Structure formats: structure tokens, C-alpha cells
Amino acid sequence: MHAATLEVLNALLNLQNIRELLLTGMALLERPSEEVSKASLVLIVECRSIDRHLQLRRKIIKILQPRLEREPRRDQALLDTITQFIPRIATLLQGAADTHVKHAAIACLDTIIEKYGKSTANAMVAAAEVVAGSEGLGARDDRIQVAALFCLRSAVEILGAATVPVVAIALPKALGLLEMTLNSGSESTQVHSAVCAFLSAVIAAVPWMVTPQYLDTMLKLIHQSTMGSLAPSAQEDSMYVLRLIAGHVPPRDCFAAIQRTLAQAMAAGPLVRPNSEYFGND
């Protein structure tokens, strides 16, 4: 019965245009009200009696995300509705205990940033701060951490200097996450690649946020990551971050950071092992 209910909900929601779908989604993500059709109210009661809206919320977000990706419209009415919808998704991320709902919420925000970020900048920056917080980047689940890092990467790439408050929250957390991953011995390629993607966006878009302390930490962690057993693709991610540092951070700051970290790097060994696959088979 529950599966059938969700299928009916899917069909009903997909009949609406994108703006109507967003308005309905906002109502359904909060609580039943007079704005919601009688048919939707019946569906909400059914879903609530089974799992307190969890599957309903996931279903709504999973319907919305591909519709937003495909939507060709960019008129002001739609943008105004998306601006109203963004804080609802951020609130859902803050309040949801289910990791699947959190992951879906972050993925939906990532889609909105990529397509409508510049037109909804203020709302997106506020939502990105939530993603950078304890319920996103600070979560214990690897999948949520990775999704949060890629979402924040998109925000920094598209919104640039407007994300300075977000970077101030996320950058130390991202570096701490990479350090914890490397020191734990797990060497998660997904986490490593996600951190490198976020660092790359920060270095390219807001290089002045890379203070001497952060720069030292980046160099140490990148060196440590290339000394481990990560896949060649992950090592390439590390080398790409180094190339961006060389291209965007003032040379004076780069040389000073190398001087501060060189002794530790020399003691640890070469940047990339000579026999590693990184150099190929030649």
C-alpha cells in the first residue's frame, strides 16, 4: 500500500509545471495545509502513519531534482519561487535524522546552485553555510561529507567572493577531514577527491582565503597523500591542487610555505614514489 501511495504521489506531482511543483513541494516538506490538494493530504496522512514523512520527503526531492535540471525556463516568477524553496531544503537538511534525506537535500541544493546560483545568490549562500555546518560537512557519514564537499565546490565556483563566509567555515573542516582520513589508514579515494575538488575551487576563486596556516596544512597533507596507497587518479587530484596553488597564490607566499614545510617533507621522503603507477610504465 505504501509503495503504491508513493507511485500515485509521483504521478500527481509530475503533472504539474515546475513552479507549481516547487510550491507543492514546499507545502509537503513542511506540513499539510490548505495549500495542499485533498488528494495530496490523503497521501501525506498515509506516509506519515508509516515512517513520519521520511520516504515522502525523499520522493519529493528526487522528483524535483531532475525536473530542475531539465527546466528551460528562467523567468522571474520561477526564480522567486526557487529563492523561497532554497531555505526549505536547508531547513530539511538541518532537521532530518535520516542520512538518505540529508544526502538528497544536499544533492538538490547542488543542482540549484549549478543552474540558478547566480540568480539566487543570497539564499544560496545561506544554504551553503548550512551545508558547511554540522549536518552536512560535519556529519559522520562519508556519503554526506562527500556530497557536501561537491556542493560547496559548486557554490564557490559559481558564487565566488560571495561565499567567503562559507569558505571560512568549510575550509578548516575540509582540511581536518582530509587529515583524519589520511591518518586513519582508510585513505578513502572519494573523500580525498571531494576535498581536493573543494580546495581547487577555493584556490581558484578566492585565493586570498588561503592563509599561510592553511597553505602549510595543504602542502603537508598533499605530500602525505602522495606517500600513501591512493589510486593514481587521486594522486593526480593532489597534483592538480599543487598546480593551482602555484598559479593563484602569490609566489612570495608559496616560497615561504615551502621553506616552512620543506624539512618535514624531506624527512618523510619523495613527493611521489619513483616506482608508482603515477609515472606510467615507461
What pLDDT band is residue 25 in, cutting at 50, 70 and 90? confident
What pLDDT band is residue 219 in, cutting at 50, 70 and 90? very high
Predicted confidence (pLDDT) at residue 165 exceeds the cutoff of 90: yes
pLDDT at 36: 38
Distance in angstroms (rounded) separating the CA atoms of residues 127 and 210: 23
Predicted confidence (pLDDT) at residue 73 exceeds the cutoff of 80: no
Instruction: Return the half-sphere exposure (C-beta side, CA atoms, 13 A cut-off) of residue 76.
Output: 0
Average predicted confidence (pLDDT) for the chain: 82
pLDDT at 66: 84
Predicted confidence (pLDDT) at residue 220 exceeds the cutoff of 70: yes
With respect to CATH, is domain 74-279 assigned 1.25.10.10? Answer: yes
What pLDDT band is residue 31 in, cutting at 50, 70 and 90? low
In 3D, which of 247, 257, 180 has the Cα closest to residue 215? 257
What pLDDT band is residue 74 in, cutting at 50, 70 and 90? confident
Which residue ranges make up each domain of the chain?
Answer: 1-71, 74-279
pLDDT at 7: 56
pLDDT digits (tens, 9 = 90+) for 253-276: 999 999 999 888 787 665 544 444
pLDDT digits (tens, 9 = 90+) for 88-134: 999 989 988 889 889 999 999 999 999 999 999 999 999 999 999 99
pLDDT at 189: 85
| % the chain with pLDDT above 90 | 53
pLDDT at 8: 52
